[in-house]
Structure 1
Amino acid sequence: MFEPHITMITLGVADIAASTAFYQRLGFRRSSASNDNVTFFHTNGTVLGLFGRDALAQDAGIEPTAKQGFEAVSLAHNLASPEAVDAAWDFAVECGATPVKRPEKVFWGGYSGYFADPDGHLWELAHNPFAPLDENGHMGLPD
């Protein structure tokens, strides 16, 4: 049986050491299980992994591509207020993130913006007034 649950997200990166340093500047806590070939970060219930882009493709049994940039996936970090989104976006840019879209009011009634990590992986920072965060910072959705 398949239980819908995400335990780990792995990003294929060009330079593990550089990407590790970037995520550490953002405040991600590196696990001691990390090594020169892979980095693992603790993220409040889900693990974020950084693995060589070509090695990740090889592990999946597909051909690596030279493509960089948007690949129809974004990671999201929801926050409690528009002000928290602005502060997090400014901090990410100070840490070396590439600004993609400055936070603003958006068509669906929330507030969000995007930045990219050193490999072009998109991160959305958002405040969604229709899905409030619980006491653990988890996003609530109606049944």
Structure 2
Amino acid sequence: MEQRISLITLGVTDMERSARFYETLGWTRVDSPDGVIAFDLIGQTLGLYPRTALAEDLGVPVESIGGFSGITLAHNLRSPDEVAPLLAGAEAAGGRILKPAQEVFWGGFHGYFADPDGHVWEIAHNPFSPLSEAGAFRWLGYGE
């Protein structure tokens, strides 16, 4: 298995509501087959798929995939000054702030929100992992 993630699929209860949430954050849909809404990212794609259909595909009861799963999605930014405004934008779009923007013990700055289906996003600036010019992230950064 190559060391990469190609597609992140979120099981959602209302496809259009979830799509509007991400569109309000500034993302653009790409053409996709019926029943899937996709947003191309830098090097990956985020897919929205009906939660009940995802549970059926997994062969588990839909109730078993609810609540905090122990996974967060992260969106890193170029400066700490961008964190609070993005969290505010997520809240205005229908998200719920879980942790307001604040300094982190390791030297970064971050906060958390949940999207309308409860998927948890970390919004962060990591001074030790500068983003590429295109916005790509890697653990040790892209340097100057």
TM-score (norm 1): 0.90
1:87, distance to aligned residue in structure 2 (A): 1.7
Q: Can you give the 5+ residue segments of structure 2 that lack an aligned partner in the other structure?
A: none
Runs of 4+ in 1 over 6 A off after TM superposition: none
Please say if residues 68 and 119 of structure 1, whose CA atoms lie closer than 8 Å, have aligned partners that are also in contact: no
* Identical pairs, percent: 45
Please say if residues 12 and 53 of structure 1, whose CA atoms lie closer than 8 Å, have aligned partners that are also in contact: yes
Q: Can you give the 5+ residue segments of structure 1 that lack an aligned partner in the other structure?
A: none
**CA distance in 2: counterparts of 1:34 and 1:97, whole angstroms:** 26
1:7, distance to aligned residue in structure 2 (A): 0.9
- Greater percentage in strand: 1
**CA distance in 2: counterparts of 1:67 and 1:9, whole angstroms:** 15
Does residue 78 of structure 2 align to residue 76 of structure 1?
A: no
**CA distance in 2: counterparts of 1:62 and 1:69, whole angstroms:** 15
Please say if residues 12 and 50 of structure 2, whose CA atoms lie closer than 8 Å, have aligned partners that are also in contact: yes
**CA distance in 1: counterparts of 2:127 and 2:140, whole angstroms:** 12
Please say if residues 55 and 65 of structure 2, whose CA atoms lie closer than 8 Å, have aligned partners that are also in contact: no
Q: How many residues align?
A: 141
Does residue 29 of structure 2 align to residue 30 of structure 1?
A: yes
Secondary structure in structure 2 of the residue aligned to 1:29: coil
Secondary structure in structure 2 of the residue aligned to 1:126: strand
1:122-137 counterparts in 2 under 5 A? 122-137=120-135
1:36-55 counterparts in 2 under 5 A? 37-55=35-53
**CA distance in 2: counterparts of 1:73 and 1:141, whole angstroms:** 18
**CA distance in 2: counterparts of 1:140 and 1:3, whole angstroms:** 16
Amino acid corresponding to residue 26 of structure 2 in structure 1: G
1:61, distance to aligned residue in structure 2 (A): 2.5
**CA distance in 2: counterparts of 1:69 and 1:60, whole angstroms:** 17
RMSD: 1.7
**CA distance in 2: counterparts of 1:134 and 1:123, whole angstroms:** 21
TM-score (norm 2): 0.90
**CA distance in 1: counterparts of 2:37 and 2:21, whole angstroms:** 12
